[in-house]
Structure 1
Amino acid sequence: MDSPNTLILDHFFPTDVLKITEVIETEKIVIHMKSVSRFCICPKCHQTLEHSHGTYIRKVQDLPILGKNVQLRIKAHEYLCKNAACPVITVAETFNGFLNANRRMTQRCEDFICMLAMETSCEGCARICQAMNLHISGDSVIRFLTERYEAQPVPVCGETIGIDDFAFKKRNRYGTVIVDETTHKPVAILNGRDSNTLKAWLQQNKQVKRITRDRAGAYASAIGEILPDAMQIADRFHLHQNLLEAIQNALKSAVPADIKIPIDQIPADFQSPEENQTAKEESKKK
């Protein structure tokens, strides 16, 4: 019977497909495991494979335990796909989302790294992981984030969108962000802020009927050419900006920039700032 003070490692792994056979602790923790599954799903034809082709050892990194690096040595199966129309011949088994194909880290380990990178930076994340005895480089962190970004489904926008430009690097490189007005989430980030960039995106999204934009002529011409029936709406910020500019121009034309005060209207006891400073210095000397 297990002691209530004993940490049972089996509880942290999918016991329906993996079984721990040995744990070796030195400067790191090596956990030997073997697969107990009896079938696998082909990733191409999605058929259930039950004919085992052989076994091999997968060396995988997991989350650290009490500051020690954890390495898994998993004896996994390879299965034969007998579907003649399938391009895959052998399939390495995965373990219910715990470990995916061709990965050197467990899924939970990758999740932690990606979350940390989003809150810090890729290089900062790599340095923190190294301090935790989780071995990874900044380039690998970038690869994880890129793979997850590319695996996301293409966002679909509704009939109303907002368009505005932004700077990747001020005075150097600009882009265009497109936001769905219903969800208030970005649906596309375009490289550039000219009309050709926006035209290519509008060609693929002709369901758009209402567009909120700034007063840029490039956006107006692109929308008018691709979606001539779409309603173009000036956003609130630029309406306020245009109103402020009109008020400033009106004040400049009505109120002179310099207001001269006649000498005869200056009080007799008026002192200039220079005279005030001179009087203070003389009083200090006394």
Structure 2
Amino acid sequence: MLFPNVDVRLEAVEFTADVLVVVAAACGPPPRCPVCRARARRVHSCYERCLAERPLSGQKLLVRLRVRRFFCDRSGCQRRTFVEQVSGLSERYRRSSLGLRTWLRQVAVELGGRAGERLCRHMHLTAGRTQLLELLDPPPVPERAPRVLGVDEFAFRRGRTYGTILVDVEAGRVVDVLPDRTSETFAAWLREHPGAEIICRDRASAYTRAIKEAAPHAVEVADRWHLLQNLAAAVEKTCHQHRACLRKRVDEVTSRTRDPAADAAPSPRTTADADHRPDPAPPR
């Protein structure tokens, strides 16, 4: 069956070169009003929805679903009419089925935006990277900050908009994402989520002010990545400043280690010519 355990009636199947269209109609019992939860009794009208479904045998599948709009007869309810939703197939304001939405969410969880978009293209699924990322549910923010809190900035849009990412260093997971990288926002978060004993940060002064203001008891440390980055930058700068001295030293070491006997030894070509030189004529 195409739709197992779903209250729909299959009416027609249309084949085209690019897509397989299934025409169906909802046939379940009258639903309840989403506001007052009263059971509907009267049908207002019918209309057709188009839902993208999971591919079938490598071909795109589109469901043209006819649903009913019902009256809400309860006088105190603010909702006059509402549209039924087919359990297990459709949901309000969505143009894709629940099954397809589950597929896309798993792709977004495992691969993210761009890689997930490339995989969906091979699977004959129409989904962009932004659509995939919108399917991800934000993790719950704990009431208390982790014992070792990592803080760093990142770019929503490089050169224009930046935010702050907070990480539980011991657990290796993201705790929260702040909309900017200002000290006021970070300080407000620290006040609302106490408990950080060690805070790993970069050398930005904004985070330092926030820590001294909202969590003065916390120990500030530089994380390993920024230490290595700063060390590499310092070494590169020193090498550029003393480039002439380094080149001179290399030349001295090269000339000192050169073998004098190698310069005096005849070349292979000269030796070969001597071996093939004719013998001198004997004296008469």
Same fold (TM over 0.5): yes
What is the TM-score of this pair, normalised by structure 1? 0.65
Kept after mapping to 2: 8 A contact 1:180/1:186: yes
- The verdict on how the C-alpha distance between 1:281 and 1:80 changes in structure 2, with shifts beyond 3 A counting, is farther
Q: Structure 2 residue aligned with 1:13, among 4, 9, 16?
A: 4
How many Å separate the matches in 1 of 2:155 and 2:163?
7
Query: d(CA) in 2 for partners of 1:118 and 1:281?
Result: 69
1:165 aligns with 2:152: yes
Cα RMSD (Å) = 4.3
Q: For residues 169 and 55 of structure 1, do their structure 2 counterparts lie closer, same or farther at Cα, with a shift above 3 Å needed?
A: closer
> Using the alignment, how far apart are the partners of 2:109 and 2:141 within structure 1?
20
- Among candidates 193, 215, 222, match of residue 210 of structure 2: 222
In the TM superposition, what is the alpha-carbon distance from 1:62 to its structure 2 partner?
Answer: 0.8
**1:283 aligned to 245, 249, 267, which one?**
267
Q: 1:57 aligns with which of 37, 48, 52?
A: 48
Query: 1:162 offset after TM fit, Å?
Result: 0.5
Counterpart residue identity of residue 283, structure 1: S
1:198 aligns with 2:186: yes
CA gap of 1:58–1:281, structure 2 versus 1, over 3 A, is farther
Q: How many residues align?
A: 248
The CA deviation at 1:65 is: 0.9
**1:91 aligns with one of 53, 72, 82:** 82
Matching of residues 85-234 of structure 1 within 5 Å: 86-117=77-108, 119=110, 122=113, 125-126=116-117, 128-134=119-125, 136=126, 138=128, 141-146=129-134, 148-149=135-136, 152=138, 154-160=140-146, 161-168=148-155, 172=159, 175-180=163-168, 184-203=172-191, 205-214=192-201, 216=203, 217-228=205-216, 230-232=217-219, 234=221
Structure 2 length normalisation: TM-score?
0.66
CA distance in 2, matches of 1:276, 1:168: 60
The unaligned stretches of length 5 or more in structure 1 are: 1-7, 249-256, 259-269
Call closer, same or farther: CA 1:58–1:278 in 2, change over 3 Å.
same
Note the residue ranges of structure 2 that are not aligned, 5 or more in a row.
236-244, 247-253, 271-284
Describe the SS at the equivalent of 1:49: coil
2:63 to 51, 69, 72: 72
CA contact (8 A) 1:49 1:79 kept: no
Flag the structure with larger Rg: 2
Contact 1:206 1:227 in 2 (8 A): no
Shift of 1:84: 4.8
For residues 57-115 of structure 1, what are the alpha-carbon distances to aligned partners after superposition, in whole Å with 9 as ceiling and x for unaligned? 22212111112221212221222234555443322222224211122211221232343
